[in-house]
């Protein structure tokens, strides 16, 4: 059986949300999008962390409404299709390697402004199935500053409260998009391993969203992982030339530096405007694994990168 993929970041639900009601299904072909269930099957993607993303201008109450609507799209699909799984506990992932289920879905909020600065809202979203949060997007919110803000501020008191409560509830803390001060503070505060769901290596491409060597080393000692992101801007200083080769180069660099236990995929399909050459949509994932095989990576290491590390962290952190 081919090695399956767990992808820890895609914006597919926000693409579906703007369609007509009867088109809002992951199971339908969505050829204008970069991902849908038929192409996930081709790409061997069996676990998808769905980003629950809202724009800065949707902050607060409106963002909360939009987030709940996005989550309901996958809920509706799960209700209709028994081969789809809603992952809310470690037990929901227990049979991943042995079941014939098509897709395991996990909800992760990207930028926590839909919490409206109210810790009780964390509980509300948890009850709705939210199991991970990227604390910020690029702007400042109630928790911390994103990378788009020129500041050296770390977490706010509310941000610290959210991380602590996420640890208690069993939710994965994601530090993609947060500024450096917030990164280091959250890293120190979180009792559980953290992840950076979608970013690449700064040593290979100097984009602000990429991880410095010091950050990569910290992710290793913390036990988490970086999800390799397919954003052409992160992969190659000449984004129009970004390709499958660059994805493999970033994987190889990060594996070399911090080991195969700390590398995963966070494609950002349906969140990126353009795609790398050779990775035009979600169906292309297996070509990355073929390249790693060609480079002499062991099957065990390829399996860790493909899905093992994502499963390890979600099984460890979720209750
Ligand atoms: Zn993002």
What contacts 247, CB < 8 A, 6 or more positions away?
228, 230, 235, 276, 279, 288
Query: How high is the pLDDT of residue 23?
Result: 97
Question: DSSP secondary-structure letter at 114?
Answer: G
* CA–centroid distance, residue 250 to ligand 1 (Å): 18
What span, in angstroms and rounded, lies between the C-alpha atoms of 269 and 49? 11
What span, in angstroms and rounded, lies between the C-alpha atoms of 166 and 191? 10
* Furthest CA-CA distance within the chain: 50
What contacts 183, CB < 8 A, 6 or more positions away?
175, 215
- How confident is the model over 5-29, as a mean pLDDT? 97
pLDDT tier, 1 (very low <50, low <70, confident <90, very high otherwise): confident
Q: Of 81, 80, 84, 130, which is closest to residue 108 (Cα–Cα)?
A: 130
Helix H or strand E encompassing 85: strand 84-86
Query: How high is the pLDDT of residue 251?
Result: 98
* CA–centroid distance, residue 176 to ligand 1 (Å): 7
Helix H or strand E encompassing 50: strand 45-53
N residues, the chain: 319
Cβ contact 2:307 at 8 Å? no
* CA–centroid distance, residue 36 to ligand 1 (Å): 19
What span, in angstroms and rounded, lies between the C-alpha atoms of 142 and 159? 7
* CA–centroid distance, residue 217 to ligand 1 (Å): 22
Environment class of 26 (CB within 10 Å of its CB; exposed 0-12, middle 13-18, buried 19+): buried
* CA–centroid distance, residue 198 to ligand 1 (Å): 7
Query: How high is the pLDDT of residue 121?
Result: 98
Q: Is the pTM here over 0.95, yes or no? A: yes
* CA–centroid distance, residue 91 to ligand 1 (Å): 28
* CA–centroid distance, residue 172 to ligand 1 (Å): 16
Q: Of 1, 297, 312, 283, which is closest to residue 172 (Cα–Cα)?
A: 312
Structure tokens at 140: 């400042």
Q: Which residue has the tokens 């509310």?
A: 158
Strands (E), 95-217: 103-110, 130-134, 172-174, 195-199
* CA–centroid distance, residue 296 to ligand 1 (Å): 31
Query: How high is the pLDDT of residue 151?
Result: 92
Q: Which domains does the chain have, with CATH numbers?
A: 5-317 (3.20.20.140)
* CA–centroid distance, residue 98 to ligand 1 (Å): 31
pLDDT digits (tens, 9 = 90+) for 55-82: 999 989 999 999 999 999 999 999 999 9
Query: How high is the pLDDT of residue 234?
Result: 98
Question: DSSP secondary-structure letter at 103?
Answer: E
Structure tokens at 68: 């709940």
Query: How high is the pLDDT of residue 220?
Result: 98
Q: Of 111, 101, 230, which is closest to residue 174 (Cα–Cα)?
A: 111
Distance of CA 28 to the CA centre of its chain: 22
Structure tokens at 256: 């070399």
* CA–centroid distance, residue 177 to ligand 1 (Å): 7
Examine the pLDDT at 245 and tell me if it is beyond 80.
yes
**Number of helices followed by number of strands (H, E) in the chain:** 12, 9
């Amino acid at each position: 059986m081919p090695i399956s993929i767990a992808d820890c970041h895609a914006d597919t639900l926000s693409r579906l949300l703007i369609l007509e009601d009867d088109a809002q299904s992951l199971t339908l072909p969505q050829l204008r999008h970069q991902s849908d269930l038929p192409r996930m099957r081709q790409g061997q993607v069996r676990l998808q962390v769905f980003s629950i993303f809202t724009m800065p201008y949707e902050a607060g109450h409106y963002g909360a409404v939009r987030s709940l609507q996005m989550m309901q799209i996958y809920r509706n699909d799960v209700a209709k299709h028994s081969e789809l799984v809603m992952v809310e506990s470690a037990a929901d992932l227990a049979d991943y390697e042995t079941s014939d289920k098509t897709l395991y879905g996990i909800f992760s909020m990207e930028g926590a402004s839909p919490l409206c600065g109210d810790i009780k809202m964390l509980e509300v979203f948890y009850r709705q199935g939210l199991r991970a949060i990227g604390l910020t997007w690029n702007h400042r919110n109630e928790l911390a500053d994103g990378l788009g803000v020129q500041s050296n501020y770390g977490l706010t008191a509310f941000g610290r409260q959210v991380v602590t409560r996420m640890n208690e509830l069993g939710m994965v803390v994601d530090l993609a998009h947060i500024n450096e001060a917030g990164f280091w503070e959250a890293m120190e505060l979180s009792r559980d391993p953290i992840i950076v769901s979608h970013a690449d290596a700064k040593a290979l491409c100097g984009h602000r969203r990429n991880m410095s060597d010091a950050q990569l080393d910290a992710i290793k000692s913390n036990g988490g992982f970086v999800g390799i992101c397919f954003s052409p801007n992160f992969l190659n200083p000449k984004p129009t030339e970004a390709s499958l080769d660059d994805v493999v180069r970033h994987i190889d660099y990060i594996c070399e530096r911090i080991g195969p236990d700390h590398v995963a995929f966070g494609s950002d399909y349906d969140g990126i405007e353009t795609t790398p050459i050779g990775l035009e949509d979600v169906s292309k994932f297996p070509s990355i694994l073929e390249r790693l095989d060609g480079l002499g990576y062991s099957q065990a290491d390829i399996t860790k990168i493909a899905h093992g590390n994502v499963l390890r962290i979600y099984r460890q952190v979720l209750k």
